[in-house]
Amino acid sequence: MDNHKIKALAQAVIDTEQQAVQALKLRINDDFVAACRHMLECDGRIVVTGMGKSGHIGSKIAATLASTGSPAFFVHPGEASHGDLGMITTRDVVLAISNSGETDEILTIVPLIKRLNVPLIAMTGNPHSTLGRDATVHLDISVEKEACPLGLAPTSSTTATLVMGDALAVALLETRGFTADDFALSHPGGRLGKRLLLHVNDIMHEGKACPRVTETATLSEALVEMTQKKLGMTSIVADDGKILGVFTDGDLRRVLDHGEINIKTLSIRQCMTANCMTITADKLAAEALHIMDSKSINALPVVDDNDHLIGALNMHDLLRAGVV
């Protein structure tokens, strides 16, 4: 098989699965709304179950629901009939996934789920299947064909199931008014959590660690301050502590490009960058990163609401904190 044929096969898979996903748009109907309503009114948890590949997709759907404001967990249907069914309470909603709608392990526990009198939402590829008929609400995830040339391996069907699950999760997220701050609370670890939770005041240098000189300082004095504080910059402040400007390593190079100077007599006010970019301590560290990236700068003074200098941070601080 040549390279062109391999590429053509892969593209055919993508085309087939794309068509399967596109077909789902027509199935976002009153049944979909009813499923969302049951989940929104749920006082307990959304319990997702499924066998085989449907189970793997179900685990992902449960994780997506849980991380976007709809408490959920996955229960293996085989284990459910051997004790784990006790994890389902009368306050829950069950989301059962079976492409055929005839999965034995799920059908075995359906009567017990119905005895609990909880809503049963079924995702199947056959509305007339046993599971489809027994469900409180049925969501049609049928596909015209699998992307597998043998028509055996779940491919298009699992993709369609996953997309329908994402549609449920996002519809619930928006309806609940779930915010980025809410999302951050369930994602405290890793770079994502740090970008959503870490604020400037968590990583800024303050007090004596914050580089600053007064407007009467010389360039020499500013360089000493920059060297001691090791942030590659210093802020210039008025007598009342309000920031007047900033002087950075880049500013120093520009000053030196102008020829011979006397660093002991040149006033820092003559060579500082006035009207500099600043940030307040309550802002997200990710916002500081955005400012630095967009303005091509490596450090930011931190000010209060009255423009008084209270701290500073640079790109290295963001790197150490895992924001970058």
Phi and psi torsions of 274, nearest 5°: -80, 165
Q: What is the CA radius of gyration of the chain?
A: 30
- Whether 232 has a pLDDT exceeding 70, the answer reads yes
What is the mean pLDDT of the segment spanning 291-306? 94
What's the rounded mean pLDDT across residues 280-305?
Answer: 93
Q: How confident is the model at residue 256 (pLDDT cuts 50, 70, 90)?
A: confident
Q: What is the pLDDT of residue 149?
A: 76
Q: Rounded mean pLDDT of 51-55?
A: 95
Percent of all residues in the chain with a pLDDT value above 70, rounded to a whole number? 94
In which band, very low, low, confident or very high, does the pLDDT at 135 lie, cut at 50, 70 and 90? Answer: very high
Contact 112, 94 (CB under 8 A): no
Residue 187: the pLDDT is: 59
For residue 250, the tally of other CB atoms under 10 A from its CB is 15
Tokens matching residue 85: 């069914």
Round the average pLDDT of the chain to a whole number and report it. 90
Q: What letters, b where the CB count within 10 A reaches 16 and e where it falls short, cover 44-72?
A: ebbbbbbbebbbbbbbbbbbbbbbbbbeb
pLDDT higher than threshold 90 for residue 81: no
- Homologous superfamily, domain 3-178: Glucose-6-phosphate isomerase like protein; domain 1 (3.40.50.10490)
Q: Which secondary structure element, helix H or strand E, spans residue 233, and what is its range?
A: strand 233-237
Other CB atoms within 10 Å distance of the CB of residue 145: 13
137 SS3 class: strand
DSSP structure class, residue 86? G
d(CA 91, CA 292): 49
In this prediction, residue 189 carries a pLDDT of: 59
pLDDT digits (tens, 9 = 90+) for 202-214: 999 999 999 999 9
Confidence band (pLDDT; 50, 70, 90) for 186?
low
Strand 93-98 to strand 120-124: parallel, antiparallel, or no bridges (unpaired)? parallel
For the chain, give every domain's residue range: 3-178, 200-321
| Torsion over CA: 165, 16, 106, 126 (sign) | positive
8 Å CB contact between 118 and 94: yes
Domain at 200-321, CATH from 3.90.550.10, 1.10.10.10, 3.10.580.10, 3.30.70.100: 3.10.580.10
Q: What share of the chain is helix, strand, coil (3-state, %, to 5)?
A: 50, 20, 30
Mean pLDDT in residue range 49-71: 94
pLDDT at 119 over 80: yes
Mean pLDDT (whole number) for 237-266: 87
pLDDT at position 76, please? 94
Distance CA 120, CA 123 (A): 10
Q: What global pTM score does this model have?
A: 0.67
Tokens of 140: 């049609």
Quote the pLDDT of residue 154: 86
pLDDT for 63-76, tens place per residue? 999 988 899 999 99
Q: What is the pLDDT of residue 181?
A: 64
pLDDT, position 219: 92
